[in-house]
Amino acid sequence: MKLEGMKIGLAFTGSFCTFDKIETEVKSLVEKGGDIYPIFSTNTQFTNSRFGDTGEYMKRISDITGHEPILSLEEAEPIGPKGYLDILLIAPCTGNTLAKLANGITDSPVLMAAKAHLRNSKPLVISLSTNDALGINFKNVGELFNVKNIYFVPFGQDDPVKKPNSMIAHTHLIADTLELALEGKQIQPVIL
Ligand SMILES: Cc1cc2nc3c(=O)[nH]c(=O)nc-3n(C[C@H](O)[C@H](O)[C@H](O)COP(=O)(O)O)c2cc1C
């Protein structure tokens, strides 16, 4: 299913080193006609790192998408009752957010959006980026693989020698993953 005219929630969590890559994909999704609604986790909003000023990043994303970001639980909650998103993408998805999602915890705007969206039985796509994906979070990856309406952007090890437990999504496949998820299908191969 093409992305033209689709309302896509794009939820950012605190893998700050991945922000530039995701910004590239946001531009690409907008060029494909996607209507992007940005959502930022609380931790992203209040963390500035060597990878840049998050306030400036949020402003750029807001300008590219034409929507003010969703920054609180109250702003994210209507995604459930109003059901206005066709699909929700968490990109990048931290180990922290992945673990909470797998365990039913809803304490950030991103997790609130995910819970609200899933209640409508619509697709949620995860673009993983975490150093513990093959470590303490491996069980949570497996858990979410088996949850209805959850899909993964294909991912793999980014540095097996120096970071043997790290896995990161191939972000250039985000659009393809979304298109198939909208048809209820997981893009394959998912491990790349
Ligand atoms: C500079 C910096 C880079 C980080 N990179 C990552 C990362 O790539 N993946 C990850 O899972 N966590 C990363 N973290 C840790 C998360 O930001 C932290 O777990 C935070 O609680 C995530 O909250 P959130 O999932 O609600 O956004 C990083 C933290 C900092 C300060």
- Contacts of 42-50 with CB under 8 Å at 24 or more apart are 42/71, 42/108, 42/109, 43/13, 43/14, 43/96, 43/108, 44/12, 44/13, 44/14, 44/16, 45/71, 47/14, 47/16, 49/16
pLDDT score of 108 more than 90 = yes
CB-ligand 1 contact for 43 (6 Å cutoff): yes
What pLDDT does 100 receive? 98
pLDDT digits (tens, 9 = 90+) for 65-86: 999 999 999 999 999 999 999 9
Ligand 1 midpoint to CA 43 (Å): 8
How many C-alpha atoms does 64 have within 13 Å on its Cβ side?
23
Nearest CA to ligand 1 atom 4: 15
Phi then psi for residue 23, to 5 deg, are: -60, -40
What pLDDT does 146 receive? 96
In sequence order, which residues have a C-beta less than 8 Å from that of residue 164 and are 6 or more positions away?
134, 157
What pLDDT does 41 receive? 98
pLDDT digits (tens, 9 = 90+) for 144-182: 999 999 999 999 999 999 999 999 999 999 999 999 999
Give the residue-averaged pLDDT of 35-51.
Answer: 95
What pLDDT does 49 receive? 87
State pTM to two decimals.
0.98
Which amino acid appears at position 119 of this protein? R
Q: Tell the burial category of 120 from Cβ atoms under 10 Å away from its Cβ (0-12, 13-18, 19+).
A: middle
CB-ligand 1 contact for 166 (6 Å cutoff): no
Q: How far is 116 from 111, CA to CA, in rounded Å?
A: 8
Ligand 1 midpoint to CA 88 (Å): 20
Ligand 1 atom nearest residue 13's Cα: 27
Give me the percent of the chain exceeding a pLDDT of 90.
97
Q: Tell which residue, 82, 93, 155, has the closest CA to residue 130.
A: 93
- How many residues does the structure list for the chain? 192
Calculate the average pLDDT of the chain.
97
Q: Tell which residue, 40, 12, 36, has the closest CA to residue 85.
A: 36
Ligand 1 atom nearest residue 47's Cα: 31
pLDDT score of 51 more than 90 = no
C-beta separation of 94 from 16 below 8 A: no
Ligand 1 midpoint to CA 104 (Å): 19
